[in-house]
Amino acid sequence: MRWGLLGTGLHARQRIAPALVACAHNSLHGVVGSTPAKTAAFSVEFPGCVAYDSLDAMLADAAIEAVFICTPNDQHRAQAEQIAAAGRHVLVEKPMALDEADCRAMIDACRRAGVRLGVGFQQRLHPVHREIRRLIEAKELGQVVLLRAEWHTAYPPWTNWRANAGRAGSDVLAAVGVHALDLLCWFAGAEVADVAGIIDISAETGLDQTLAATLRFANGQIATISMTRRARAPMNGIWVWGSAGMAGAPSSLGMAPTGLLVRGSGAEQRESLLPMPDLSAAQFEAFAAPGGAPAYATGEDGLRSVALSRRLLAESRRS
């Protein structure tokens, strides 16, 4: 699949473009940035990448089959609708959009156009996460009763659009927390029935910087989650406990994830190390697979995540 890349920011340069270049069945064909200068500099950094002066120009190129949206969150809806109307597949960076109405509009636009819509939850392609999901589905853990996820990182206050609530929607939740939420929902296989949490709001930005919450799913499973942008932890990951055993990925989340899988039953515990792929490249391969690989996240998954994020922000007690 030949891709157009919309956005030339740090994430696009460091993660997305290199992943497309490394893909076996996908390629980076062209790019559009927020300014002509940024677009031109990006195309020099990635030789062979066509520099378009607008999204319209990119979509006028018949070689483009799909577009990855890597722009500020408030732009996702309009861009996705334009791309879908041009008959191109859409893969959008998380979070999918700012609110549920925008997500539904994106889903409807892609459905009308008959194109595929995906969301950048590449953590679903992590080999340990996929193995945990297999263990759950095969009932090897028994009946799942409790899940836990945590992503603790440290970065200075944003100085770009991410510091603007109207453009970003949230801070740590949108930056990393949505990945953990998506995995919890993916593992639970049910909708969230109840949420309760506590959130710490930055006095400088008015946005979330630390959040701890408990979720109860419709099938009775309970999950806890914590996230922060103020303290880095070396063992960010996700765990699942069932009536017949547990499985965990203690260092699977973050910018340098490992393939460590921990399994246990009673007092016994064993570890194994699974080979790690480039998760961004795996995301493109999954999206481009005929019919879409089962693990890639759809627009409906993106909608669920946005709805849950907004619910957490609205219902959590603030400190």
Range of the domain at 227: 126-275
- The answer as to whether 31 is a domain residue is yes
Whether 175 and 152 have beta carbons less than 8 Å apart is answered as: no
- The answer as to whether 194 is a domain residue is yes
Question: What pLDDT sits at residue 292?
Answer: 66
Question: What pLDDT sits at residue 290?
Answer: 81
Q: Answer with the one of 122, 137, 161 that is the final residue of a domain.
A: 122
Query: Shortest CA distance to 32 belongs to which of 5, 3, 60?
Result: 5
Question: What pLDDT sits at residue 309?
Answer: 97
Query: Rounded to whole angstroms, how far apart are CA atoms 117 and 109?
Result: 9
One domain, residues 136 and 256? yes
* C-alpha distances in Å from residue 172, one per residue of 83, 95, 142, 177: 28, 11, 33, 6
Q: pLDDT digits over 167-177, tens only?
A: 999 999 999 99
DSSP strand E in 171-207: where? 192-201
Category of 317 on φ-ψ map: left (φ > 0), alpha (ψ -120 to 50) or beta: beta
How far does CA 234 lie from the centroid of its chain?
20
DSSP letter assigned to residue 124: G
One domain, residues 266 and 143? yes
Give pLDDT tens digits along the chain (319 positions): 999 999 999 999 999 999 999 998 999 999 999 999 999 999 999 999 999 999 999 999 999 999 999 999 999 999 999 999 999 999 999 999 999 999 999 999 999 999 999 999 999 999 999 999 999 999 999 999 999 999 999 998 899 999 999 999 999 999 999 999 999 999 999 999 999 999 999 998 899 999 999 999 999 999 999 999 999 888 899 999 999 999 999 999 988 899 999 999 877 899 999 999 999 999 999 999 887 677 789 999 999 999 999 999 999 988 7
List the structure tokens of 67. Answer: 């577009």
Q: Give the CATH number for residue 32.
A: 3.40.50.720
Give the global pTM. 0.95
- The answer as to whether 295 is a domain residue is no
One domain, residues 145 and 87? no
One domain, residues 118 and 141? no
> What does the angle CA 131 – CA 133 – CA 138 come to, to the nearest 5 degrees?
95
Whether 75 and 93 have beta carbons less than 8 Å apart is answered as: no
How many domains, the chain? 2
Whether 20 and 66 have beta carbons less than 8 Å apart is answered as: no
Query: Rounded to whole angstroms, how far apart are CA atoms 8 and 121?
Result: 19
Per-residue burial over 182-220, b = 16 or more CB atoms within 10 Å of its CB, e = otherwise: bbbbbbbeeebeebebebbbbeebebbbbbbbebbbeee
**DSSP run (H or E) holding 311:** helix 299-315
